[in-house]
Chains A and B, each alone.
Chain A
């Protein structure tokens, strides 16, 4: 309210500055309060989950709430890591690394090129095509598992990593995001380059890609974690437990710990499963908020 009143008044530089400054320190406190209270609510369950993975079943079921275990035990992790015949975790981690890096690498190429096509190029039926594909992708594919398997089988990809890497490239979500992001970039950027005689590929590579780098990193992160909740597909396409990615493998483990209500083990396997992605996130996060200077973008 006060802001609006203030804006309606004829502006004097000095008062404006002072008001802006005090406004900023108030908003700083509000921001802090909001963020910190959110963080507390968000982090307690995570800490509780981690600490539970160090609890014995005896302690889990003993009454009363304790954020940290009375006695830290490592048996849960020992049990998970020892079960190498049915749950070869190191193997799974290697598989995941291969699948995720290849998949992410290809995703970034496919979505940036396709996004450029749908956002910066003019061709007949462009938007119709885009929205048709997007619309089709909204249909929940419940029984699609069967035809999808047949296609993968016809391609000879059953029990290979390609079954995990390639089908995901067909998704529309990330392309939609990239397209939306590109639509926000001023058209003058590529128009002036085009006047200078640059080809589409050149504009894509040297003007657009640098500008959308943050969102490409976000998409890379999403596709790295993308198959997270989808554990049915890996179960279907892999015959060997040995070849599974870590998330699907650990979900398989959790299934059993869940059924047998071995709570510490279940938590332990969930914690192990998030470590690779968490590391990636910690590494990637400084890139996707890196601020872009539109002016220098044109020069490059």
Chain B
């Protein structure tokens, strides 16, 4: 009996080996295209790739979905083998990658595809990929921090007027202090770090001064303190509780999460919601801190000219046909798509409905933005909840960013 099991397992192993060996076909005439788009997003992108390949292009595209793509990118760039022909990266990676010299300029590709130009895309999505006059990326979308509102609760608390000028101010929110039923809250703390970074723009500040990181600034303090007011007034969902789920369960008026959440919110029965701009500390300005998915070519000696031409074709196809991508909840960057009537059916079309809205989608392009975002994310919760001294923590945050910069490849030794 023992021998039998052993034997049958060996047979199984051997037969599987042949099965697995049979399916390794590395096609030289394929554009390998890596994306970090898992789950449903990956499926929408898959569909786009499939549609493109159905047009019978000379070079077909092979979509490879990779979790932890940046780790994987580091690994292949370091070993110099297996670098993909095309990849999607996030906006905040661009300055660092360009500086490290791992991105191929899009110059030649753009020459061959005249429609791949700034005028055909949302301006900030395009310019994110421009470094010192050279274009390194072509945008797919903008995905942004936005604010969902619960229509029923707004009505219940007679707060529909907040939405009139498309900017919900902190003062407006504070006006509801003491008027809420127990267990109801005005706003949750989803993506709190992004909300803070938007306030910096609203208050006319920035995160850098002459290329140096500026975290410990009066504007940053003001941004944190104005959000802290909301928490102090007991209007923000309690620290450590799942504010996102509380919005879905109908106990929170506003949720400051992302464009991509709209499909998840729509899956909750009885949640009657809409979308607007993230609340503002200033009465007349609003900002939605954004990022962008960008097509780019990582440095790869083996990329043939035919492949580059193929990539150009593919990107032009995406520019004209990426309505599918709107299903993922993202703001499609191509104007041909986001100005089309079909696109209006999607909730996120609110953010491209006029010039002012488009401008509100703010992408930070400062080289060390990732470190600053990390510092803000790490510390803002404790600051806003009054767990730590704000001045002291701002000093720590400034040091945190400076120390990390000093350790980078370009940092002063």
Contact = CB atoms under 8 A, between A and B. Distances in A.
Interface of A: 56-58, 60-63, 83, 85-87, 94-95, 97-98, 101-102, 105, 145-146, 149-150, 153, 158-161, 231-232, 235-236, 239-243, 251-253, 255-257, 259-262
A153 B80 CA distance: 10
Interface in B11-28: 12-13, 16-17, 19-20, 23-24
B39 A146 contact: no
B98 interface: no
Contact of B38 (A105, A239, A253): A253
B17 A159 contact: no
Interface residues of B, number: 44
Contact of A239 (B12, B23, B46, B82): B82
A101 B245 contact: no
A256 B13 CA distance: 32
Interface of B: 9, 12-13, 16-17, 19-20, 23-24, 32, 38-43, 46, 64-68, 71-72, 74-75, 78-79, 81-82, 244-246, 248-249, 260-261, 263-264, 267-271
B43 A145 contact: no
Nearest to B72: A236
A236 B67 contact: no
Chain A interface, DSSP helix/strand/loop, else mixed: helix
A235 B66 contact: yes
A276 to B, nearest CB: 14
B264 A61 contact: no
A151 B43 CA distance: 33
Contacts of A235: 66-68, 71-72
Given A239-B64, A260-B260, A94 B16 contact: yes
Given A149-B79, A158-B82, A256-B41, 11 more contacts: A58-B269, A97-B12, A97-B16, A145-B75, A150-B78, A161-B17, A161-B20, A239-B32, A251-B67, A260-B263, A260-B264
Contacts of A87: 39
A57 B248 contact: yes
A98 B43 contact: no
Contact of B264 (A85, A240, A261): A261
A259 B41 CA distance: 12
A146 B9 contact: no
Nearest to B26: A159
B79 A150 contact: yes
A168 to B, nearest CB: 16
B72 to A, nearest CB: 6
Contacts of B264: 57, 260-262
A85 B32 CA distance: 16
B71 A232 contact: yes
Contacts of B66: 235
A239 B64 CA distance: 7
A85 B270 CA distance: 32
Given A241-B65, A252-B67, A146 B75 contact: yes
A250 B17 CA distance: 22
A240 B64 contact: yes
A273 to B, nearest CB: 14
Contacts of A150: 78-79
A105 B13 contact: yes
Nearest to A262: B264
A236 B68 CA distance: 8
B16 A86 contact: no
Contacts of B269: 56, 58
B64 A61 contact: no
B68 A160 contact: no
B13 A98 contact: yes
7 contacts: A57-B248, A86-B38, A97-B16, A105-B9, A161-B17, A231-B67, A239-B64
**Most A-side CB within 10 Å, residue of B20, B74, B245:** B20
A87 B68 CA distance: 16
B267 A57 contact: yes
